[in-house]
Structure 1
Amino acid sequence: MPVRILLAGATGWVGRALAPAIAATADLALVAGVSRSAAGTAIGDAPVFASIEEALAVPSDVLIDYTKPNVVKANAAAAIAAGRHVVIGTSGLGADDYAELDALARAKGVGVLAAGNFSITATLLKRFTLEAAKYVSDVEIIDYASAGKPDAPSGTARELAETLAGVRRPATSRPIEEVSGVPATRGGSFGEGATRVQVHALRLPSFVLGVETIFGAPDERLTIRHDAGSSAAPYVAGTLLAARKVAGWTGVRRGLDTLLD
């Protein structure tokens, strides 16, 4: 029996690419969608609803959420409460939010996979960054996105920064508390003390999504960068992989890299 998918954000940028990709598989089936603008219509044989509560009335196994930062947490919590596994591709949630969802998921015995980016190459950026952090102490992140992006930093940069803060070596740069002038220009901090990570978010026309990790050592630098194009195609394969695997554990996992091996 195919894994039954409920797709929230079915008519959004990524959702429009996911729906036909799901239809083209033999082991996944789209059974319902959520989209306020398209409520009352259908995607293939799947009805589209205005709210997650209505869509959850349709029997399903996994919620895939590509909506907006202000609704993704409530959507995920509702799906978990209904006993569904969840794949989160929407940005905007942080470590505290995922800790709450983890507790809910464990109580219901369901799995959640959340990734700031479901692109394979963006996932490799994270993997290479964490490897480099074992050897180089000083690292900061630049986050690039379009002028209209509503959240900062992006989910990709936030996931990277929160993970990096937990494994990096202590920085040799001057602590933020000792910076004069306008300390806020040093970016946003993730983590605590000498192992926290500074993230600088740029929001300008001509960018889609990009993340750059910069390592500095005496007389040398290492830059690892990922840039996304205008198509949602790079996110499809990783999202479908997560939908296939998410029933395999209980609680929240963060990052597509947790599935690559």
Structure 2
Amino acid sequence: MAIRIVVAGATGWVGRALVPAILAAPDLELAGAVARGAAGRDAGEALGLPAAGVTIHATLAEALAAPSDVVIDYTKPPYVKGHALAALAAGRHVVVGPSGLGADDYAEIEQAALAAGRGVLAAGNFSVTATLLKRFALEAARYVPDVEVIDYAAAGKPDVPSGTARELAEALAAVPRKPSAKPVGELSGLRDTRGAQVGAGTPVPVHSVRMPSFILSCEAVFGLPDERLVIRHDAGGSAAPYVAGTLLAARRVGEAVGLRRGLDSLMG
């Protein structure tokens, strides 16, 4: 039986690439679509495709009235947690694509997932190469204790840091390390220039750059005396790199109850 999927944010940047991929996959079925600006239109026709036989709804609550298995959310940060909690309450598994949620938000989502007996998979970035950035950086952190994360994005990106940078920093912070950099509390001057201290354990400084000419980039900078290692991921202007990872998550999100963070949780 095909996995029935609701896409929230169906006409957004990622949604416009995701919906055609779902329609083309033999093991997936587009069961619902949410996009306030295109409400009432056929999901296929709204994207310039043949009619899909699925009417776009203005709210997720309306889309959840029909049977489905998984909700994929690619809306905006203010709506994501509410959508995840509503989907879990309705008995759906959830794939969370947007950035902007913090540790407290994910803790609440995890509690709801456990109570509902459903799975949630959230990733700051569903690109395979961005996932490899995280994997290689975690390996480097075992040997190089000083690391900082720099997050680059377009001037109009509303949330800081990016989901990629936040997820990376939280993972790096959990690696046992003894950095040589002076603690922020011992500094003078403008301490905020050292970046946000992200993660439990040994927090990692994260610096966000927002200006024209950037799309999405993230780098982990490691330093030892007289040498430096930079591991960086750059995204292009297309949403295509995120589609395969998101659909992998949709296919496997139901394998475990509770919250899993990062596409790497599905990779061997």
Q: TM-score scaled to structure 2, two decimals?
A: 0.96
- Residue 143 (structure 1) aligns with: 151
For residues 21 and 70 of structure 1, what CA distance do their matches in structure 2 show?
26
Q: Does 1:226 align with 2:194?
A: no
- Residue 98 (structure 2) aligns with: 90
For residues 206 and 199 of structure 2, what CA distance do their matches in structure 1 show?
11
Query: Is the contact made by 1:101 and 1:252 (CA closer than 8 Å) also made in structure 2?
Result: yes
- Residue 36 (structure 1) aligns with: 36
- Residue 244 (structure 1) aligns with: 251
- Residue 115 (structure 1) aligns with: 123
Q: 2:220 aligns with which of 198, 213, 223?
A: 213
SS at match of 1:70: helix
- Residue 47 (structure 2) aligns with: none
CA offsets 1:173-228 (integer angstroms, 9 cap, x no match):
000011111000000011357x2100000001011110010000011000000000
SS at match of 1:239: helix
Query: Is the contact made by 1:31 and 1:47 (CA closer than 8 Å) also made in structure 2?
Result: no
Residues 196 and 96 of structure 1: CA distance in aligned 2, closer, same or farther (over 3 Å): same
Of stretches 120-129 and 163-172 in structure 1, the one that deviates more from structure 2 is 163-172
Q: 1:73 aligns with which of 81, 86, 89?
A: 81
Amino acid at match of 1:47: T
Of stretches 165-174 and 139-148 in structure 1, the one that deviates more from structure 2 is 165-174
Give the number of aligned pairs: 260
Q: 1:204 aligns with which of 197, 202, 211?
A: 211
Amino acid at match of 1:141: V
SS at match of 2:105: helix
Query: Is the contact made by 1:211 and 1:227 (CA closer than 8 Å) also made in structure 2?
Result: yes
- Residue 17 (structure 1) aligns with: 17
For residues 130 and 179 of structure 1, what CA distance do their matches in structure 2 show?
27
Query: Is the contact made by 1:31 and 1:45 (CA closer than 8 Å) also made in structure 2?
Result: no
SS at match of 1:92: coil
Aligned-residue offset at 1:168: 4.2
Q: TM-score scaled to structure 1, two decimals?
A: 0.98
Amino acid at match of 2:106: Y
SS at match of 2:36: coil
Q: Does 1:160 align with 2:171?
A: no
For residues 50 and 179 of structure 1, what CA distance do their matches in structure 2 show?
50
CA offsets 1:48-77 (integer angstroms, 9 cap, x no match):
100011110011000000000000000000
Structure 2 segments unaligned to the other structure (5+ residues): 44-51
CA offsets 1:105-125 (integer angstroms, 9 cap, x no match):
001100000000000000000
For residues 95 and 64 of structure 1, what CA distance do their matches in structure 2 show?
20
Aligned residues: CA RMSD: 0.8
Q: Does 1:64 align with 2:99?
A: no
- Residue 190 (structure 2) aligns with: 182
- Residue 136 (structure 2) aligns with: 128
* Percent of aligned pairs sharing the same letter: 65
For residues 129 and 19 of structure 1, what CA distance do their matches in structure 2 show?
32
Q: Does 1:99 align with 2:107?
A: yes
- Residue 191 (structure 1) aligns with: 199
- Residue 59 (structure 2) aligns with: 51
Amino acid at match of 1:242: A
Aligned-residue offset at 1:96: 1.1
Query: Is the contact made by 1:40 and 1:47 (CA closer than 8 Å) also made in structure 2?
Result: yes
SS at match of 2:13: coil
- Residue 255 (structure 1) aligns with: 262
